[in-house]
Structure 1
Amino acid sequence: MKRVKIELKWAIIFTIMSLAWMLLEKTLGWHDESIADHWWLTLFFLPFAVIIYLLAMRETRRRVYKGKMTWKQGFLSGLLMAVFVTLLSPLAQYITHNYITPEYFESVRNYSVTNELMSIEKANAYFNITSYIWQAAIGAFAGGFITSAIGALFLMRK
């Protein structure tokens, strides 16, 4: 039970950090004036995401496994956190697109259509809350899976 509490705590921290990042993106104009660069500027979030996973796995190693942890134990710890982050991601998307940056979808659709990157039909189908909830959930789980697998290599101790 202690282990589950650690991963849940870090998943909540991760979700709060991702909401803070969305607020930063919005404040810096990445959701309107700089929408063209949004796709690569968002990559700056990755190091922070990895650090949160590593801190969570390190705490699990220290508090649950008494400083010793196999790769499998570390991977399962990270994977459990990824499941919690995945479950929290629809709520984070809802908060992001209803309170932090409600005009994001309109901005990105307009940019995509104006610059002939997509038709209006494709833009409407891709840039909406339902699509982003699914993308966030799949991305959270896949990213957590990969981060857990690689992070466990660095955190295992015998």
Structure 2
Amino acid sequence: MKNFSIEIKWTFRFILLTLAWAIGEKLIGLHDQYIEDYAVYTNLFVFPAILFFFQALKEKKKNFYNGKMTWTQGFVSGIVLSIFIALLMPMAQFVIYKSITPHFFEHIIEYKLRHKYMTYENARTYFNLKTYILESFFESLSKGITTGAIISLFLKTKKV
């Protein structure tokens, strides 16, 4: 596991970032009062997420590969980081929707119904803890691996 200590450290940082982001969304009212803006602003999370991946892979290059990293090494590190994040993301989702914002699903379903965006059954099928946990797991894997691949292109050493 020592080979993956950087990925483990950044995984915990990423989970803390995710929780902090959810707290921020809750505090500014995106989970209730301004729920109509939730979809727009929650997507801004992509920017700190990319920054965190960049910092993690940059640290891996500097401290593990002594400043010389191939694309493959960076990509593998990105895959490992994505797997670790995906494994812990269900716990983060549980904390978010049971502790930080326990009424989120009720609010978003009510909003979708009020504006006739979805039927009640469709809204209940999509907006629930189980669906969000599964979605976050697979999104962490797919988006993380893609992000790791792209960032590795920028961080790879030209001549190793």
TM-score by length of 1: 0.98
Residue 143 (str. 1) matches residue 137 (str. 2)? no
Deviation string 1:46-105 (CA, Å, 9 cap, x unpaired) is 110001111110111111111000000001101100000000010000000010000100
The equivalent of 1:17 in structure 2 is 17
- Aligned Cα root-mean-square deviation (Å): 0.8
What SS does structure 1 have at the residue aligned with 2:11? helix
What SS does structure 2 have at the residue aligned with 1:150? helix
Structure 2 counterpart of 1:10, one-letter code: W
Q: 2 CA distance for matches of 1:132 and 1:88? A: 13
Residue 52 (str. 1) matches residue 77 (str. 2)? no
Q: 1 CA distance for matches of 2:40 and 2:79? A: 26
Q: 1 CA distance for matches of 2:129 and 2:47? A: 26
Q: 1 CA distance for matches of 2:52 and 2:142? A: 16
Note the 1:1-158 alignment, pairs <5 A: 1-157=1-157, 158=160
5+ residue gaps, structure 2: none
Residue 142 (structure 1) shift: 1.0
- Cα 1:63–1:2, aligned 2, differ >3 Å: closer, same or farther? farther
Deviation string 1:5-31 (CA, Å, 9 cap, x unpaired) is 110110110000100000000001001
Q: 2 CA distance for matches of 1:117 and 1:139? A: 23
Residue 2 (structure 1) shift: 2.9
Residue 146 (structure 1) shift: 1.0
TM-score by length of 2: 0.96
Deviation string 1:109-156 (CA, Å, 9 cap, x unpaired) is 000111111110111111110000001111111110111010001111
What SS does structure 2 have at the residue aligned with 1:94? helix
Residue 43 (structure 1) shift: 1.7
Structure 2 counterpart of 1:148, one-letter code: G
Residue 40 (structure 1) shift: 1.1
Kept in 2, the 8 Å contact 1:79–1:144? The answer is yes
